Amino acid sequence: MLTGPSKKQDPEKQPDHVAPTPVEIDPVQLVDEPPTAEELETLPRVCDKIPYAIFFIVVAEVAERFTYRSLTGPMQNYIQNPFHDTDHPGALGKGQATATAIGYFFTCWCYLTPIFGAIIADSWLGRLKTILIGTTTATVGVLILFITSIPLCLEKGAGFPGLIVALFIIGLGAGGIKSNVGPLVAEQYVNKKARVSVDSDGRRVIIDPDITIQTIFSRYYWIMNIGACSGLIATWLELRVGFWGTFLIPLCIYAVAVIVLVLGRHKYVTRPAEGSIVPKAVQALWIGFRNNRNMDMAKPSNMMEQSGTSNVSWDDHFVDEIKVALTACRVLPLFWLSHGTSIGNVISLAAEMKTFGLPNDLLAGSVNPLSILILIPIFDRFLYPALRRMNIQFLPITRISFGFLAMSGAIALAAGLQSLVYSSPSESINFFSIFPIYVLTAVSEILAFVSSMEYAYTKAPRSMKSLVASINLLLCAVGSLLGLAISPTSEKPRVMVQFASLSGIMFIAAIAFYVLFSKYNKEEEKMNSVERGTDDDDTTQA
């Protein structure tokens, strides 16, 4: 039996057949070979090395999420109940109707303003400057809210006008943040082409940019949900310290975010704003619509062939980008429509159960974000790589379809528990039984929402990435409005019918979605190559 040299041997006298000690190879160091057609079919695909420094940009999103959750939870009590209420914490005493209306306004405002932030970033300022301005603006808004929530200011009557001004400014700031952080994080990864490398085990593998972008968005969403856990702190401060204490924490976090962004502004890869492309896109869409909805007719080459002239300011590639962007937008609506119209009633369901003296909204504000923090690493490090090793292509359209199925399961479970509540003695069911609903909702978000963000980024035109991302967020506001529209059914006994109906609709939607759009899985790399067409040419340092 052949053995390696003993420790006493002179290294210079080792026999030729003895293999050298294996050296760990960093895949990122071997990136020179483009894959052949055969290698694309046979070699395993892996994620590239991702520098963690790129995620410092997410501090703005963490601050925004922390503030949003810190406000939307306590704000109902802050507006509804009077100052010095002996039974419940309060400040303004405006009543439940006013509190609910302002809550809906704030949610819709925060998901509407990203449209404006996207247009500003894509057309004039660029993403990093827009994020920095948005973060600074939101900091000012939270500062106004904090100052006017101090007891002395509340007694002087500054609370309500301060709240309205603050919410308006905070929403404006959120618009500059939400539509730009995800695309800017993804843009820090500049290697856009697949290449052959060698992993630490000596295997030839393909460094896949699509898998890398998928991982980047998963980690981005994971970090963002750290801020979403703020509800655990906000409600305690509201009760034990006062609303000024609740609002002080997000103010400090926003201030830190501003400092981090200012100090790191020269370290990020950015693209210059490309001027307003929205008018060009609208004109091209109109030409396609007039020609039997055939977008190819808006290509200058076809216009020259048809009429001998082409008096437009875009090229054929721009039209291809618009076609791909339209596909990206199609995958976004259904998730938010279901998410926004169903989950809120689970809090009311918990109120009908045995809560052991705990708040009935405790699980809503904690289990969902904590589940996301636990599950995303499991998906990224174990589930997705295992599927790739088995040669199972778990592409975005498939992931979104499974996300819809997870949502269907969550709502079906809510329907079942609601039925048990109706048939059981009062409050005899443990409210921890709704725990799986929020876990399934977290799975749905990871599969459907994160995949939709990834899909929107990779398929949208380079000059419209923030705009397409903001459309995704706008559909969340649409979901909230639809939830408001069907809210009359959110009462006994019709709420159980609402749960069951929504579960069935989501199940059918999942199947229909996959049947209609799975063809885009087959065109995944082709569509991504359209988006990458000129991506390597004009990145700069901020």
Strands 269-270 and 204-207: unpaired
Q: If you average pLDDT over each of 163-177, 180-194, 507-521, which comes out highest?
A: 163-177
pLDDT digits (tens, 9 = 90+) for 12-31: 444 444 443 333 344 444 54
State what percent of residues in the chain have pLDDT above 90: 24
Tell me the whole-structure pTM to 2 decimals: 0.77
pLDDT of residue 418: 86
Assign 34 a pLDDT band (cuts: 50, 70, 90). Answer: confident
8 A C-beta contact, residue 372 and residue 225: yes
* Mean pLDDT of all residues belonging to the chain: 80
Q: What's residue 25's pLDDT?
A: 40
Provide the b/e sequence for 51-72 (b: ≥16 CB within 10 Å): eeebbbbbbbbbbbbbbbbbbb
Residue appearing with tokens 């976090």: 253
Q: What are phi and psi of 158, to 5 degrees?
A: -85, -10
CA pair distance 60, 58, nearest whole angstrom: 5
Among 43-57, 162-176, 429-443, the range of highest mean pLDDT: 162-176
Q: How confident is the model at residue 144 (pLDDT cuts 50, 70, 90)?
A: very high
Q: What is the mean pLDDT of residues 222-245?
A: 85
CB neighbours of 168 closer than 8 A, spacing ≥ 6?
109, 141
Judge contact between 300 and 312, C-beta under 8 A.
yes
Q: Averaged over 55-77, what is the pLDDT? A: 88
CA distances to 49, 170, 199, 200 from 29, in Å: 10, 44, 10, 11
Collect contacts of 201-207 with beta carbons under 8 A, ≥24 apart: 202/22, 202/25, 203/44, 204/39, 204/43, 205/27, 205/43, 205/44, 205/45, 205/46, 206/35, 206/39, 206/40, 206/43, 206/44, 206/45, 206/46, 207/27, 207/28, 207/31, 207/45, 207/46, 207/47, 207/48
Q: Distance (Å, rounded) from C-alpha 469 to C-alpha 459?
A: 11
141 or 338: which leads in pLDDT: 141
Q: Which of 186-200, 325-339, 422-436 has the lowest mean pLDDT?
A: 325-339
User: Helix/strand/coil (H, E, C) string of 14-29?
Assistant: CCCCCCCCCCCCCHHH
For residues 254 and 63, the answer to whether their CB atoms sit within 8 Å is yes
**In this predicted structure, what is the pLDDT of residue 386?**
92
Q: 294 or 443: whose pLDDT is higher?
A: 443
End-to-end CA distance of the chain: 61
Of the two residues 400 and 254, the one the predictor is more confident about is: 254
Residue 91: phi, psi to the nearest 5?
-150, -45
Q: What is the pLDDT of residue 7?
A: 42
Is residue 519 scored above 90 in pLDDT? no
Res 302: pLDDT: 87
- Tokens found for residue 46: 């892996």
CA torsion angle for 70, 72, 75, 77 (degrees, to 10)?
A: -100
For 468-496, write each residue's pLDDT tens digit. Answer: 777 777 777 776 666 666 666 656 677 78
Q: Give the C-alpha separation, 477 to 483, whole Å.
A: 10
Kindly report, residue by residue over 236-285, the tens digit of the pLDDT.
Answer: 888 788 899 999 999 999 999 999 999 888 887 777 766 666 677 778 88
Distance between CA 13 and CA 9 in Å, rounded?
A: 7
What share of the chain in percent tops pLDDT 70? 79
